[in-house]
Structures are given as structure tokens and as C-alpha cells.
Structure 1
């Protein structure tokens, strides 16, 4: 008897980046299979071939379901779970009115534990298997998300959010030294444990003093294998605020660069209103830009220029930006990215969208060798999509003439009902209304 698991259904994977190589970079097997062994993908290929070679494998037949890599959400704030879809504020007011009061509650370890578990269960139900999350200034908030991820076997990146300026409320301020000390202690405790990674996390320049940014830059220099996450050029009034606080800086990005916070492994959320020097420097150091389309429209930030950024060769990930973003679903996030692309006169193909939500975000995290695709040796984080999850989607899918026409209605209209199953490291974690048969 073997512990191998063979998933059967339609299978979608990528041989390369479809932005660079065209949609032919996507590989679709109409009746395919994925063999899972010891939490990793062992083989991908035609269903009949895999069944013949592995007759002892346990079979989970998902019928016409689309088997693909689990979604990778490369910029979230899990502590904002309970305030998602709060009405009517732009960035700075939104932070002061909703975010900061909620984040103060994470001084309570029990509350942090409750929200961390709730958040990860919500994203698993939406087919997301990996996230990169900001926490709060409280070390307990970091412990909570990592403990919840460890219990679920998930690959999660997170870090203590650092803020020491008087632009943040008193209850959410640390210091340059405590930010360094707490971050280092948490990094040494969690980084590399199971599937967990630490991200050094200055919230953004307006809430950190130069001393704090320098301290975190020094910490990153001591631990260059860690990611660093922050925000950049989300709204025009935010950029004006940064210029008033850092009058000597050449631009917003310079406030990070001057303090050792610009290098490979940096993940810069939003990056909508970039100046030419900023674009050049980000590309030169091969940093990652994270597109958060539902957040950018919900808070009124602007329209990210995906066509220009991908055309220039930037690393770009896709993210919900919970809870500034208005959905936990990467399907909804892809739909919003498509709509923004239309407004930018650069519509994205379904292959581009699915790549951004999986391999593209994994590449932004520099984990494309581990997650975000189905290939031998990759970690078996997998989502199965029901391409006829609602009557509206089903009636459109029936008219599809190829796989992309079959997938696109689910991208545009799908939600958690489209998630037939979510596997994390080869283990079934959630199963939706469309049940698979197991033999």
C-alpha cells in the first residue's frame, strides 16, 4: 500500500511566464492528473498514464474540475479581517478611523489568535494556500498568525508591523530600538520553521522615523534571506505627506533606499504613482511590486499600470490587501485586475490573471521554486475550481469554445462557491459543494 494521492480532473500548469512567452506558456490537460507524494507534486500528466503507473495510489477524482496551484496572496493585513468592507474613507482617514483602532485590539493574545485562525480559514475556503501578511506592532500578533499557519501546514510569510512616529496613535507606537529587537527576536523564533518565513515590516515611511527605517535596514542587512515588505506610492496625498516628512528625499522610494530598505527581496505594495527614477531603481534591484486592485479601487487610490510594469520586466505579484481590499477571494482580485487593465487599455488574458495569482505572486516572494505551479518537486498546494459553480457561470461556460472561455466566467463571477477543494501540502483542507469521489 502507498500513501500516494492521485488527483484527477482538468489540469492547468505553466511552463513559463505568459507575459513573456505568450499564453502558450500555459499547459492544459483536459483529462489529467497530479500525483502527490509526501506533500509534494511527484508527477503531472495524462490521467490514464498516471493511473496505469500508480495503481496503488488513492484516487480523488474531481471530474471536470480544474486542478491548479493554490492561490498565492502576496500582500495582506490579517489583523484587518474584521473591518473588511468598511465604508467611505481614503487611505489616511481609513487608517485612523478603522485600521488603527482595530489593530490596538491585538495586544490581547486571545483576540489575535481568534482573528488569525478566522483569517486563514477564510482564505483556505477561497482557494488561497499562501499569504504574505502584515501583523501589528504587537509580537503576539506575529505569534498568532504563525501558530495558526503551523497548525494548518501552510506556507506563510509575516512580520511585526513597525511604527514609531507620532503620526501613529500612542497605542500603536514602538521605538527604533524595540522595532529592531522585537523583529530580530521574532525572526529568530519563526523564520525557517516548517513552512514559515519572516518579513521585516516597516508599515510605510509616514509612520516610521529615519532612525527606525535605518534600524530595520540594518536588520535586513544582517538577515538578507528574509523578505522585506512595505507600502509605496499608493495615493497622491500620501506621496505629498511623505515629501513633507522627508523633504531631503529625492522621491518616496528614496526614503527606503537611503535607509537600506531597497534591494532584492523587497516587496512594495501598490506602487501606483511611481516617478521614472523609482521605476528604474526598482527594476535595477529586481524588487517586487504588488498589485492590489480591489483595494486600489475601493479606497480610490488609482490604476496600477500592469502593461507597462510587466512590459519593462518588473516582478509583479497580485494581492487582496485585506482589509483595504474588499474581498478575501483571489478570483475577485483577478476580476478587478482585469477591469483595471481595461481602463488602462491593456486587458489581461485569463492565462495572465491565473499566472499572477499563483506563479507571479510566488515569484514576487522569491518562492517560485516551491509554490505557485504544478510541477515535480513543487509543494502540493492545490486548488480545484468548479467551472460551473453557479447557474449564471454554468450557462456561460456551456458556450465556451476553448479552456480559456470556460475559465474566464469563473474569474469574473466566481466566489468561494467555485472552490471545490483546497489541498495544503497534499492534505485536503477544505471541500466545497462540488464533491470529488475518492477511490
Structure 2
């Protein structure tokens, strides 16, 4: 689909649920039982207010009893792992060797990459995810196919070529100079495409698979173009130990990224389960963000991230599905897993806090908090319409079902900059990711 804004102001009527402004580290939401959402010709929200007859002079699309809410944001998802969801082949390093790397090698075939890219974007949109931060494979052709699919789908996406020049299969290994040249070409083609909906991200897989020279060159490219950096950190103890054996010049895992220049205010580090207090302190100093991936952490047995460690230091935390170790594209599954993760650690998160985490909180973590994440005047109109059972009344019931019983709430429509990117026919079964 085109990323062009709507041709004229449009208005949508429905119930409305949105984080309150500046509430990304809290649980405050706004609920309206009957609201009007007005989208301007520039794709931005003009107004989100209680419905009043005659207040808008123009056609109004009545979506009641659906609830209008911000589109979900997935801060960590792997495009080449779309077809290996549920591959239970061991803990992280074993799983990579047995399931992930063989599948990612198939993405050297542009035809296969294009086919999976279409599946990937369709499943995101059907799950209500309007923005994604994506790892591609180490193949430039597959990354082109990913960006092309995001553009055609009309989704907002930040994606990057996965960098690996050591400790990986030969089929996926790309030497430093070749990888940086490929990344630079992709920046020129795709960064800012789709009217700014698409961005390129510097994407070292993790420090274990990258030489110091590759990471330093990647950091320079990120600096030159002000690019987001995404990678993994401290997912399992074995990974952390192997990383420090590979990079003995660093004092700890975070220090690897710090010394090569990747730890900046635009760094997005997934997992962060086994970080020391010093590492958390340094993350806060650098103003880097962490992505919480609780569903994949449970699936691989990687451990439990303590949100309290991040919150105590005001480290911004986004939420990620981490497909394919994550078992669903649906961010509601990730919200529910985040609740379980906290409960295991003696904490109890409110459904409202989980909803805020998957919307405004994640927007803040990826640097788009002033653009998307809530439904308020001036922001870009990335929103979804979710149809709940009609007997559910009020904010508390809706939030409980949204987070803990998503099979009862179908994503009926999705919009990016006010333009439709998904429509589920009434009566059709809801989309369920495995």
C-alpha cells in the first residue's frame, strides 16, 4: 500500500483507549465510552474527544462497538524466523545452531525472502502491530525484500541488515568491509523511504558474532547517518561468558558495546536479563534503551528480566515479541508474558501498565514517542480498532481482556498515518499467530 496521507480529513467513532501523555513509565490511560477521532489530510490526529452530534462536518465512519487505540509497537522481531516459530531445539546458542541459522541461510534466495516478507508483514498488520523494529538476515537482497514488503504494506518499520563476521555458519558470514558497504547502500535506498515511515537500523546480531573492527565500523556508520542501533545483550549466562572470551579487552558485556561506540542514546538492546548493577548504571548514563522480550525468554529458558532494575534508573523499556523464539506476532501475548515474568519475581503489573508499555512506552524506547504511541492531537494517526464482546463495559474489563484474553478481542482494522493497512471482514475468524 502507499504511504501517502489521506486525501481529506476523516473521522472515526468508537470507544477510545489511549495512554495519557508522558505516562510511558506508569499506568495512566484515558478511556472514552463514545469518542470521535479526527484525522487530518496530513495523516496526523486533529482531535480525540468525546463524541458530540454535529461536531464534525463530514462523513464519520462508525466503528462502534470497537475500541480505538494506538497501534501496537514491536521493538524486537526477526523477519527470517517467521516460519520457525515454535522450534523447540534447545537453549539460545543451541537453538541458533539447530533452527535459526539453517533457516536464515535460505534467505539468500530472493524469491524465498520475498515470499516470507509478505507473510511477515501480513501477520504483523493482522495482529495490530503498526510499527516494528526488525532484524533481517545478513543478506542484502533479503533486506531489500523486507523493506519493499513494509513499503507495500504501508507499515512503519525500522529494519537492518544483520551483521555477522565470525562465530557463525559460512553461509551467513559477511566480512567487515563487504557488510559495511552493503549496509551503506541500503541506507541510501531505504532510510527515510515511504515518506519517512521506513528507517534503516545498524544491526549487529550480538557481540559474539561480530569482530571489534566490524562493530567499530558499524558505529561510525550509525553516527554518520544518526541511525538507531539494535542488538542483543545478556540473554543467557553462556552467551555472556562466550562474549567475554571473544572480547577479553572488555570488562563486561555492556562495555563491549560501549568501547566500540555502539552504546548511545539511539541504542536498543534486547533482553538484558543478566546485567550487573554497573551495566544498568552505564545504560542509564548512555540513555540507551532495553527491549523486554518475556515470551521468548520463557520459551528458551533464558531467565527473567527485572523491570525494577530499569525503572530504578529511568532506563526506557520497550516490549518485543522476539519472533521466532517468541511464539506469537501478537503483542498482547507479549503483554501477558510480561505480567507472568513480573509475577515470578514477586511483582504484579497492572493491565494498564502493560498496555502503556506496548504503545507509548515502546514508542519512547525507539525514539518515536513524540510521533506515535498515543491518540492525541498532533501525533501521527497510527491506530487500530479492536472489537470486544459487547457485554464488556468500561476501562477495567476492556484492559483485562485485551491483555489476558486476546482471543475474545479481534483486531478489526489497522491504520498508519490514517491510511488503512488491515481490514478483517466481519464474521471471519480472528487471526491467531502460533
TM-score (norm 1): 0.91
CA deviation after TM superposition for structure 1 residue 368, in Å: 1.0
Which residue of structure 2 lines up, in the alignment, with residue 11 of structure 1? 16
Distance 2:130 2:142 in 1: 20
Contact conserved, 1:79 with 1:102, CA < 8 A, in 2? yes
Which residue of structure 1 lines up, in the alignment, with residue 38 of structure 2? 35
Which residue of structure 2 lines up, in the alignment, with residue 182 of structure 1? 182
Distance 1:265 1:348 in 2: 27
Structural mapping, 1:10-89, within 5 Å: 10-18=15-23, 20=25, 22-23=26-27, 25-38=28-41, 39-48=43-52, 51-56=53-58, 58-89=59-90
Q: Which moved more, 1:362-371 or 1:404-413?
A: 404-413
CA deviation after TM superposition for structure 1 residue 108, in Å: 1.1
- Which blocks of at least 5 consecutive residues in structure 2 are unaligned? 1-6, 428-434
Three-state SS of the structure 2 residue aligned to 1:383 is strand
Q: 1:147 and 2:152 equivalent?
A: no
CA deviation after TM superposition for structure 1 residue 300, in Å: 0.7
Distance 2:70 2:374 in 1: 5
Distance 2:344 2:78 in 1: 27
Three-state SS of the structure 1 residue aligned to 2:381 is coil
Q: Number of matched residues?
A: 418
Three-state SS of the structure 2 residue aligned to 1:170 is coil
Q: Which moved more, 1:135-144 or 1:421-430?
A: 421-430
CA deviation after TM superposition for structure 1 residue 416, in Å: 8.8
Distance 2:24 2:135 in 1: 29
Distance 2:108 2:293 in 1: 27
CA deviations over 1:45-104 (Å, ceiling 9, x no partner): 0111xx523221x32212122111100000110110011111241100111111111111
Three-state SS of the structure 1 residue aligned to 2:149 is helix
Distance 1:30 1:96 in 2: 50
Q: 1:215 and 2:214 equivalent?
A: no
Distance 1:219 1:81 in 2: 28
Give the one of 400, 403, 425 matched to 2:395. Answer: 403
CA deviation after TM superposition for structure 1 residue 208, in Å: 0.7
Which residue of structure 1 lines up, in the alignment, with residue 431 of structure 2? none
Contact conserved, 2:232 with 2:271, CA < 8 A, in 1? yes
Give the one of 193, 202, 206 matched to 1:204. Answer: 206
Three-state SS of the structure 2 residue aligned to 1:199 is strand
Distance 2:408 2:236 in 1: 30
Q: Which moved more, 1:106-115 or 1:405-414?
A: 405-414
From the superposition, tell whether residues 12 and 410 of structure 1 become closer, same or farther in structure 2 (CA, over 3 Å). Answer: closer
Cα RMSD between the aligned structures? 1.7
Distance 2:329 2:297 in 1: 15
From the superposition, tell whether residues 376 and 18 of structure 1 become closer, same or farther in structure 2 (CA, over 3 Å). Answer: closer
Contact conserved, 2:388 with 2:408, CA < 8 A, in 1? no
TM-score (norm 2): 0.93
Structural mapping, 1:200-279, within 5 Å: 200-223=202-225, 225-279=226-280
Three-state SS of the structure 2 residue aligned to 1:73 is strand
Contact conserved, 1:291 with 1:316, CA < 8 A, in 2? yes
Three-state SS of the structure 2 residue aligned to 1:52 is coil
CA deviation after TM superposition for structure 1 residue 199, in Å: 0.3
Structural mapping, 1:127-146, within 5 Å: 127-146=128-147
Which residue of structure 2 lines up, in the alignment, with residue 358 of structure 1? 359
From the superposition, tell whether residues 342 and 319 of structure 1 become closer, same or farther in structure 2 (CA, over 3 Å). Answer: same
Distance 1:341 1:16 in 2: 24
Distance 2:359 2:158 in 1: 15
CA deviations over 1:326-375 (Å, ceiling 9, x no partner): 11100111000111111112211111111111111111110112121111
Which residue of structure 2 lines up, in the alignment, with residue 391 of structure 1? none
Structural mapping, 1:376-391, within 5 Å: 376-388=377-389
